[in-house]
Amino acid sequence: MSRAPQIPLRAGNFSRQAHADLPDGTYEREVGREGFGGQATHFYHRHPPTAWTHWEGAHRPRAFDLNQLGPGQCPLEAPLVASNAHLQLRVWKPVEPMPYLVRNADGDELFFVHAGGGDLYCDYGHITLGEGDYFVLPRGTMWRLEPHGPSFILLLEATGAAYRLPDRGLLGEHALFDPAVLDVPQIDGSFLAQQSVQPTSVRVKARQRLSTITFGFNPLDAVGWKGTLVPIRLNWRDIRPVSSDRYHLPPSAHSTFVTDRFAVCTFCPRPAETDPGALKVPFFHSNDDYDELLFLHAGQFFSRSGMGPGAMTFHPSGFPHGPHPGPYKTSRSNPRTRIEEVAINIDARDPLDLAKGLTGCELAGHVESWLEFTEDIES
Ligand SMILES: [Fe+2]
């Protein structure tokens, strides 16, 4: 697909190339539409766009330690983290094998195994999930999990919708990951062995209400299947991220799964930019059409300070965000050559509501975490 070039209108002192060769002493902020895919303008500010000194009101950047959420058995009732009309994000920490099946009739379910894993049985067969696995389960599929031990799994429901792989565009069909790395459940010996005529219950979530259906047999009784509507497993280690040594790519370059109303991106270990003039941390940005959740799976957020695996930040639209002062300054004075992080970014086109129960695990002071920038401002 091509389009006519849109020549930016310009004023004052600016860089001709976004994210590179900033005018001396300035901080770049991108104001953009459609989640880095639409119209955008770059401002070159005298001061860091996140160098606020005081903030009143509930609409603010927030951070949470999801490690503090407790265990639970039923994935359909796992603690809600964030939601809107088009998605529900839950944190599920199973410990014991599920004694019943579940079916989410409200939308496709995307798993991300942050820790642990187990044997998953579903309409399509048996598959093992382990640390770092994504698993997309089509809406309405019956399933249960036998965890191998205490586990920590993100469940992201695409309410009323289906997950798709993003358009690779000019990169081609085998970029980021070859679809051949995707795995599907198998009708294997383990699956056939669990088939029985024991009474089996299925808990169904439909229209966000639960029902229970009981059979006189285990309805996971398929002996085979064929089709294009299938669950898929993808481990982040099979993602081969694109990068540029001269240009900091936007989060959308790391899209892994998309729906019509949100995108899931995976930030994987990758080389950092090396061009002397290129920004080496994310640019400050006002992603004004999107609310953003960022979950750290492994490593250290390369642009943020003091957050370990299991932490999640929430940056709704309405204000800019960007790198923390420490990483920003380090990127200017002693830039790292590699980024060692595995993080899941959820960009939602519609405003997200955080669950009330989340306040118990909030990391206080996130809104003040850019305060160090103010020390550099000369009066
Ligand atoms: Fe962002």
DSSP string, 125-171: EEEEE-TTEEEEE-TT-EEEEEESSS-EEEEEEEET---BPPP-GGG
Distance CA 244, CA 112 (A): 27
Q: Is 3 exposed, middle or buried (0-12, 13-18, 19+ CB in 10 A)?
A: exposed
- Among residues 276, 329, 326, the alpha carbon closest in space to that of 301 is found at 326
Calpha distance 316→289 (Å, rounded): 9
Q: How far is the CA of 158 from the centre of ligand 1 (A)?
A: 21
Q: Structure tokens of 350?
A: 């519609």
Cα of 317 from ligand 1 centre, angstroms = 9
What is the whole-number distance in angstroms between the Cα of residue 37 and the centre of ligand 1? 13
Look at strands 284-287 and 27-32 and give their pairing: parallel
Contacts of 334 (CB under 8 A, 6+ apart): none
Distance 240 CA to ligand 1 centre (A): 21
Strand partners, 92: 153
CA 285 vs. chain centroid, Å, equals 18
CATH number, span 81-236: 2.60.120.10
- Residue 378: the pLDDT is 64
Ligand 1 center from residue 215 Cα (angstroms):
47
Q: Which residues of 66-91 are buried (b: 16+ CB within 10 A; e: fewer)?
A: beebeebeebbebbbbbbbebbbbbb
Neighbours of ion ligand 1 (CB under 5 A): 292
List, for the chain, all residue ranges whose pLDDT scores fall below the cut of 70: 1-2, 378-379
Q: Is the dihedral of CA 44, 50, 54, 57 positive or negative?
A: positive
Dihedral pair phi/psi, residue 262, rounded to 5°: -160, 165
Q: 259 alpha carbon to ligand 1 midpoint, in Å?
A: 18
CA of 74 to the centre of ligand 1 (A): 32
296: CA distance to ligand 1 center in Å?
14
Distance 292 CA to ligand 1 centre (A): 6
Ligand 1 center–CA 322 separation, angstroms? 7
The helix/strand/coil state of 189 is helix
User: What 3-state DSSP class applies to 34?
Assistant: coil
CA of 78 to the centre of ligand 1 (A): 27
258 contacts 264 by C-beta, under 8 angstroms: yes
Rg (alpha carbons) of the chain, rounded to whole number? 22
As annotated, the residues of the chain forming the CATH 2.60.120.10 domain(s) are 27-64+237-374, 81-236
Fold designation for 27-64+237-374: Jelly Rolls (2.60.120)
CA-wise closest residue to 59 among 317, 348, 368: 317
For 151: left if phi > 0, alpha if psi spans -120 to 50, otherwise beta; the answer is beta
pLDDT at residue number 1: 53
Per-residue exposure over 280-298, b if at least 16 CB sit within 10 Å of its own CB, e if not: bbbbbbbbbbbbbbbbbbb
Å from CA of 285 to ligand 1 middle: 7
- Cα(287) to centroid of ligand 1, in Å? 7
Query: Ligand 1: distance of its center to the CA of 61 in Å?
Result: 11
